[in-house]
Every structure is written in C-alpha cells, then in structure tokens.
Amino acid sequence: MESLSKNQALIFATGDIIIDEPDPHSFFEPSKGLLSSGDFVVGQIEVPHTDRGESVSTDVPAPPAPPENLAPLKDCGFNLCTTCGNHAHDNGVPGIVDTLDLLGKLGIAATGTGLNLKQAKTPAIVERKGIRVGLIGYNAVGPREGWATSQKAGVSYVQILTHHEPSPRATPGLAAKVYTFPEPDSVADMQADIRALRDQVDILLVALHKGMVHTHAELQMYERPLAHAAIDAGADAVIGHHAHILRGIEVYKGRPIYHNLGNFVCVTHALTPSGDNTPERMRWIEQRKKLFGFTPDPEMPFYAFNPESRKTILARMSATRDGIDEFGFVPCYINKQGAPEPLTDYEQAREIIDYVGQISEEEGLSIQMTWRGSWVQVTG
C-alpha cells in the first residue's frame, strides 16, 4: 500500500461477515496483513454469535455462530462494526447481548443493535492519530420483528415502503411494477441522528443494510435516495451491506457511496441441504433457486451464495481531520477455501476492476477508476 502522511489515517471497510465454520482464523489469513495496516477497519457482523437463546424469526432464520469465532477480527485490526442486519434478532435478546459483549471484549466498537432503540442508535466512535471516526448503521430491509423500540431489543432501522402498481395491459395476471420509497419520517429520524453525530467526529460513516439479495447489478428504487439523504445530512461516506453480491460505486457531492460491498468472509453450511435442516430452511433453499436464478458451487458447500459474488472488494479511504481526501477499493477474490484474497497486482486485479466498472455502468453510476499501484482510486 502507498505510504500516508502523518496527518492521514487509512480506513478499510469490508462486506458482510459470517464466521460459522471451524478454523475461523484461516478465512482471514490472506487479508490479515492488509487489514491490520489500517487505522480504522469496519465490518458488518451478519449473524448473532452466541450459544444461548432460541430462534425467534418468522423469516428464514440464520443459526447463531460460535462465540469464539469472532476472535480473528481483533487480529485483523477491526475496531468498528455494525450489527444491524436482518438476522441480528434471530436469537432474540441473548443473541444481541452476547454479540455486543464479545465485540466489546475484543476492543471493537459496535453500533446498530441494543436493548432498546436508543442503544441501537448509539454510534460507535474510535479515535486514532488524533482523528475521530464515527459509525452509525441502519437496517432498511426488515424484518419488522427485529426492529428495536423504546421498550424492545433489536436493530436501528429506516422503514421502506413498497407499492405494487398493476400492469395497464389488458391481460390480468401480468407482473405488477414495484416501487420502493424511503418513508419520509423514518428518513428524517435518520438524518437527525447523523446531524447530532456530525459535531462529535471528524469522519462520519453511515452503514445501510439495504438492497436486493443475490442478483446481478440491481439497485432498488429506494437505495440511491436513501444513501443521498445520509450524505445530505452530513455523512462523509455510505457503506452498503446485505445483498451478498457486489454493487456499484457512486460519487455524490464528492463523497463515496459503496452501494453494496458484497461478501467478505461469509462461510456457513446453513444454506446447504443436509439431514438436519429445518423445513423452513429447505423451502428457502428451493425458493432461492427460482427467485435468483443461480446454483451455488457444489465444491464450496460452506459458501452457498451466487458464484458471481466471489468477485468482491475492500473499500479503502484515506482521511484527515478535515474529511476523506481520497477513496476507492482494493480488488479481492474469494478463493475455493472461502477466504477473500486482496489482489494488489494489476494483472490479477483487472477482472475485478472491470467488473466494478461494468456493474456501476449497468446501475447508471458514472465513475472514473485509476490504478494506484495496489488499489483503485475512484473519482466522479
């Protein structure tokens, strides 16, 4: 990586993290050196890490991961994490409490879940090199039962409205057009949180759990307005999670929006048919093939995601106390062992760089990319 001045700090942000397999350190081995060179390393913890509680989800629940599997994060330099995913409440209060407790013991500041909405919205703040970075996160996909309230544990959230407009054609049964909108009062609440945090930090990051899962280059109607609202309120960068596949990058008012960072370490047998799967999970495995049109690689039973999602990135930003001064990404590829490998040689990285350019263009996002020796700088 390029050397930074003494006044600059290096920020990395990863895609979704699920560590639900044995030998958790092995999945971070190829990226550990690079990650630990960062001053701020941000992740999204996708499932609870607990050995307590029971499933409380009426959606497709994700099993909790072993508590000890979070240990590699400390070795890789993670110091900021969001926990506001759609599976955060799958094991109820024990899953939320235990995950936050474990992250705290590892020295990782977390935001996005809590015993009530106030706690869930409490930002994570870390200072390095005299620079204070604040992180706040919101769930924009549900399920509602996982939302926190003043008296209920859960996730911080932004409500998204969905409208189905019937086809005007004279053929009953044609597919309706789907419109999605951020609910105005909910967006106003998010913006108030961001404005309240703005004066407390030098760099303000907003993480949004948003988007359509598993599909190629598809931004939902609500995603860009929601991300723009965060920037308008004072965010220096927006980081997207949840889709489990990479989305394009946008530059809005000179600030980066990583619409979805896809997967980073995402290893679990939960989505692979086996003798002990629940009926609900087996139904989802079959539905997923029909809905999203992909078949997982049978040689990777611990990685039951769209094979295209193995093309991924690590967001890279450098910052001073005055803001983010340059941004872009490190191209990565998830190997057959499920470990993301940073590609710092241009010839190796070119396929991922071209892919980011392609999906950004397909999503109507206009960016310029410049190779900087071991990473890609993005400009508007």
DSSP string covering 311-376: EEEEEEEEEETTEEEEEEEEEEEE-TTS-EEE--SHHHHHHHHHHHHHHHHHTT---EEEE-SSSE
- Both tokens of 367, joined, read 């960016």
Q: Name, in order, each residue with C-beta under 8 angstroms of 58's C-beta and a sequence gap of 6 or more.
A: 143, 145
| pLDDT for position 255 | 98
DSSP state of 43: E
- Both tokens of 102, joined, read 């474990």
| pLDDT for position 2 | 56
Place of tokens 């630990």: 36
Q: Domain 9-157+184-379 is in which class? A: alpha beta
Q: What Å distances lie between residue 220 and 160, 184, 212, 306, CA to CA?
A: 11, 17, 7, 19
| pLDDT for position 271 | 76
d(CA 326, CA 321): 13
Q: Give the chain's residues under pLDDT 70.
A: 1-3, 58, 60-61, 274-277
Q: Are 262 and 34 in contact (CB under 8 A)?
A: no
Q: For residue range 175-234, what is the model confidence (pLDDT) as tens digits?
A: 999 999 999 999 999 999 999 999 999 999 999 999 999 999 999 999 999 999 999 999
Q: Are 180 and 109 in contact (CB under 8 A)?
A: no
| pLDDT for position 241 | 98
- Both tokens of 149, joined, read 């309230």
Place of tokens 């190829």: 30
101 φ/ψ sector (left φ>0, alpha ψ -120 to 50, else beta): alpha
d(CA 109, CA 374): 28
Q: Which of 304, 360, 302, 300 is nearest to 328 (CA)?
A: 360
DSSP state of 39: S
Find how far residue 361's CA is from the centre of its chain: 21
Please report the sign of the dihedral spanned by the C-alpha atoms of residue 42, residue 217, residue 378, residue 267: positive
Find how far residue 319's CA is from the centre of its chain: 21
d(CA 19, CA 49): 9
Q: Where are the domains of the chain?
A: 9-157+184-379
Q: Name, in order, each residue with C-beta under 8 angstroms of 162's C-beta and a sequence gap of 6 or more.
A: 178, 179, 180
Q: Model pTM?
A: 0.95
Place of tokens 């992909």: 294
The gap between the terminal CA atoms of the chain, to the nearest Å, is: 22
Q: For residue range 105-139, what is the model confidence (pLDDT) as tens digits?
A: 999 999 999 999 999 999 999 999 999 999 999 99
Per-residue b/e over 173-200, b at no fewer than 16 CB within 10 Å?
eeeeeeebebeeebbebbbebbeebeee
d(CA 153, CA 168): 43
